[in-house]
């Protein structure tokens, strides 16, 4: 089959890790007879530098006319250190989420057995962790109006808004995931304090009735933050609102040992976006040291979710596991004897090229 992939490398280590994913996608294409038309677009700080806009219109059009978007990372210290900057790279990412209607961010968190001692948690706690974190991505305090400052500059405000419809669609998606897994869904909120959370609870209960086999469990976000560390294997599918999901998914990600390993998919009304969960890691940019695995596994999610090609997704995951078993890993996982970003990408794409057609 033929696929059009919009490639948005973005900032920092984005271009280096994206190159590895492209190698891997190309290797899968050669093996299974698919062809890909990779079309690059600007986003983030680099887009601001070149066009003044963190999400140029051409980039958005490119995304809309593609079968999937492969995204690197955005962010640059020159903006982080300047709170007065009017145009910021992150606005490009938020605008893309809104414009493509990407209402759900799906982040699987599972452990690689050979990396279990890299986790900051005790081995017994981490063994068998397999969490599917689903974060609402286009609502809540990230997008609610009004947002701003009082005239005298001494008061600032953000507004958290959710409609029943926005909650329903993401909870339904989470129930679908739960049906395919252990049929358990934890809804995380702060219903003891927030009106939006009370609407989340009410709506989740109603949607839960459509999924009789799914057991719903409600948890306040502060408690969830604690239990993720104390007892991570108790969780299976988690669904939560935008900002709680932002925080909890970073927390959950370190359980596996490296933030650099984890992929994500953002799905919704238009083209889906696949990106690693880590940021642009500017200190490492251009050094060929960043871990490309999160991006490569995001490409696996792209095959599965956007192209509906499960075997192709599995072969990527298998090759990644093999590379880790062979200790072909970057410095975040082996400080004493690290491989470079491109060596890891080469190893994985060669394995796909030469290895078996399935696990
Ligand atoms: C993420 C990031 C973004 C977010 C930033 C870069 C705007 O942290 O994708 O989790 O907060 O959503
Ligand atoms: Mn985040």
Selecting among 49, 222, 325, 327, the annotated active-site residue is: 222
Selecting among 23, 118, 190, 339, the annotated active-site residue is: 190
Identify whether residues 219 and 248 lie together within a single domain. yes
Mean pLDDT of the chain: 96
Strands 273-276 and 263-267, bridge-based pairing: antiparallel
- For residue 249, being part of any structural domain is answered with yes
Atom of ligand 1 nearest to the CA of 264: 9
- For residue 309, being part of any structural domain is answered with yes
- For residue 85, being part of any structural domain is answered with yes
The reply to whether ligand 1 has any atom less than 6 angstroms from the CB of 96 is no
Residues contacting 322, CB < 8 A, separation 6+: 351, 355
Q: Among residues 215, 241, 256, which one ends one of the domains?
A: 256
Place of tokens 């696996």: 300
pLDDT for residue 15: 98
Q: Are 90 and 47 in contact (CB under 8 A)?
A: no
Q: Residue 45 is encoded by which pair of tokens?
A: 């700080």
Residue 157 among the catalytic residues = no
Q: Are 4 and 39 in contact (CB under 8 A)?
A: yes
Mutate to test the pocket of ligand 1, among 80, 246, 274 (most ligand atoms within 8 A of CB): 246
> pLDDT tens, 39-79?
999 999 999 999 999 999 999 999 999 999 999 999 999 99
pTM: 0.95
DSSP 299-345: HHHIIIIIS--HHHHHHHHHHHHHHHHTT---TTT-SSSPPPHHHHH
Strands 104-110 and 130-136, bridge-based pairing: antiparallel
Minimum CA distance residue for ligand 1 atom 10: 246
Identify whether residues 241 and 227 lie together within a single domain. yes
The reply to whether ligand 1 has any atom less than 6 angstroms from the CB of 93 is yes
pLDDT for residue 359: 83
Which domain CATH number covers 159? 3.40.718.10
Residue 76 among the catalytic residues = no
Identify whether residues 129 and 41 lie together within a single domain. no
- For residue 49, being part of any structural domain is answered with yes
Identify whether residues 124 and 249 lie together within a single domain. yes
- For residue 114, being part of any structural domain is answered with no
> pLDDT tens, 123-180?
999 999 999 999 999 999 999 999 999 999 999 999 999 999 999 999 999 999 999 9
Identify whether residues 150 and 247 lie together within a single domain. yes
Identify whether residues 128 and 242 lie together within a single domain. yes
Does residue 303 surpass a pLDDT of 90?
Answer: yes
- C-alpha radius of gyration, the chain, whole number: 20
Nearest ligand to the C-alpha of residue 10? Answer: 1
Q: Are 294 and 254 in contact (CB under 8 A)?
A: no
Long-range contacts of 24-29 (CB under 8 A, 24+ apart): 24/296, 24/299, 24/316, 24/319, 24/345, 24/348, 24/349, 24/352, 25/70, 25/299, 25/302, 26/349, 27/349, 27/350, 27/352, 27/353, 28/303, 28/312, 28/315, 28/316, 28/352
Identify whether residues 216 and 266 lie together within a single domain. no
Which residues share a beta bridge with 136?
A: 104
Per the structure, the count of domains in the chain is 2
Q: What percent of the chain has pLDDT over 90?
A: 92
Indicate the angle between helix axes 341-354 and 310-325, nearest 10 degrees: 120
How far is Cα 99 from Cα 113, in angstroms, rounded to an integer? 39
Place of tokens 């502060």: 222
- For residue 331, being part of any structural domain is answered with yes
pLDDT for residue 84: 82
Atom of ligand 1 nearest to the CA of 74: 6
Cis peptide before 146 (omega within 30 of 0): yes
Does residue 83 surpass a pLDDT of 80?
Answer: no
Minimum CA distance residue for ligand 1 atom 5: 90
Identify whether residues 78 and 155 lie together within a single domain. no
Strands 237-240 and 273-276, bridge-based pairing: unpaired
How far is Cα 240 from Cα 297, in angstroms, rounded to an integer? 23
Q: For residue 314, what pLDDT band results from cuts at 50, 70 and 90?
A: very high
How far is Cα 188 from Cα 132, in angstroms, rounded to an integer? 13
Q: For residue 82, what pLDDT band results from cuts at 50, 70 and 90?
A: confident
- For residue 58, being part of any structural domain is answered with yes
Residue 13 φ/ψ, nearest 5 degrees? -75, -5
Minimum CA distance residue for ligand 1 atom 1: 246
Instruction: Quote the ligand 1 centre to 281 CA distance (angstroms).
Output: 13
Q: Among residues 228, 256, 284, which one ends one of the domains?
A: 256
Instruction: Quote the ligand 1 centre to 213 CA distance (angstroms).
Output: 33
Atom of ligand 1 nearest to the CA of 89: 6
Instruction: Quote the ligand 2 centre to 246 CA distance (angstroms).
Output: 5
Selecting among 158, 246, 311, 322, the annotated active-site residue is: 246
Per-residue pLDDT, averaged over 13-28, amounts to: 98
Which range (109-118, 156-165, 266-275) has the least confidence?
Answer: 109-118
Name the helix (H) or strand (E) containing 185: strand 184-189
> pLDDT tens, 206-238?
999 999 999 999 999 999 999 999 999 999 999
The reply to whether ligand 1 has any atom less than 6 angstroms from the CB of 250 is no
Identify whether residues 165 and 215 lie together within a single domain. yes
Q: Residue 69 is encoded by which pair of tokens?
A: 């978007």
Helix (H, G, I), strand (E, B) or coil at 224: helix
The reply to whether ligand 1 has any atom less than 6 angstroms from the CB of 251 is no
Selecting among 142, 177, 211, 351, the annotated active-site residue is: 142
Q: Among residues 198, 224, 256, which one ends one of the domains?
A: 256
pLDDT for residue 175: 98
Q: Are 188 and 248 in contact (CB under 8 A)?
A: yes
Identify whether residues 124 and 234 lie together within a single domain. yes
- For residue 349, being part of any structural domain is answered with yes
Domain that holds residue 136: 120-256
pLDDT for residue 339: 98
Identify whether residues 154 and 189 lie together within a single domain. yes
Burial of 81 (0-12, 13-18, 19+ CB in 10 A): exposed
Measured from the Cβ of residue 51, the count of other Cβ atoms closer than 10 Å reads 14
Identify whether residues 139 and 231 lie together within a single domain. yes
Minimum CA distance residue for ligand 1 atom 11: 246
Q: What percent of the chain has pLDDT over 70?
A: 100
């Amino acid at each position: 089959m033929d696929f059009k992939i919009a490639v948005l490398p973005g900032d920092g280590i984005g271009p280096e890790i994206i190159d590895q994913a492209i190698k891997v996608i190309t290797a899968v294409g050669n093996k299974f007879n698919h062809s890909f038309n990779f079309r690059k677009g600007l986003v983030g700080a680099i887009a601001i530098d070149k066009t003044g806009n963190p999400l140029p219109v051409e980039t958005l059009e490119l995304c809309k006319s593609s079968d999937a978007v492969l995204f690197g990372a955005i962010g640059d210290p020159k903006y982080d250190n300047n709170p007065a900057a009017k145009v910021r790279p992150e606005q490009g990412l938020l605008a893309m989420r809104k414009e493509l209607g990407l209402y759900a961010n799906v982040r699987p968190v599972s452990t690689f057995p050979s990396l279990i001692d890299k986790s900051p948690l005790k081995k017994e706690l981490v063994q068998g962790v397999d969490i599917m974190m689903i974060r609402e991505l286009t609502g809540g305090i990230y997008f609610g109006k009004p947002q701003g400052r009082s005239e005298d500059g001494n008061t600032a405000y953000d507004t958290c808004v959710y409609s029943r419809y926005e909650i329903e669609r993401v909870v339904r998606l989470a129930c679908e995931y739960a049906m395919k897994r252990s049929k358990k869904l934890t809804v995380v909120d702060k219903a003891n304090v927030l009106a939006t959370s009370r609407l989340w609870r009410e709506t989740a209960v109603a949607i839960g009735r459509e999924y009789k086999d799914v057991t719903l469990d409600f948890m306040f976000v502060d408690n969830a933050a604690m239990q993720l560390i104390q007892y991570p294997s108790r969780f299976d599918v988690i669904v939560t609102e935008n900002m709680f999901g932002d925080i909890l998914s970073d927390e959950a990600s370190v359980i596996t040992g490296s933030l650099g390993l984890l992929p994500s998919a953002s799905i919704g009304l238009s083209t889906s976006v696949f990106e690693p969960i880590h940021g642009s890691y500017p200190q490492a940019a251009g050094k060929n040291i960043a871990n490309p695995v999160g991006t490569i596994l995001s490409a696996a999610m792209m095959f599965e979710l956007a192209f509906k090609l499960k075997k192709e997704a599995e072969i990527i995951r298998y090759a990644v596991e093999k590379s880790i078993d062979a200790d072909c890993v970057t410095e975040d996982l082996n400080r004493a004897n690290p491989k470079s970003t491109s060596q890891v990408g080469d190893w994985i794409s060669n394995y796909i090229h030469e290895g078996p057609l399935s696990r």
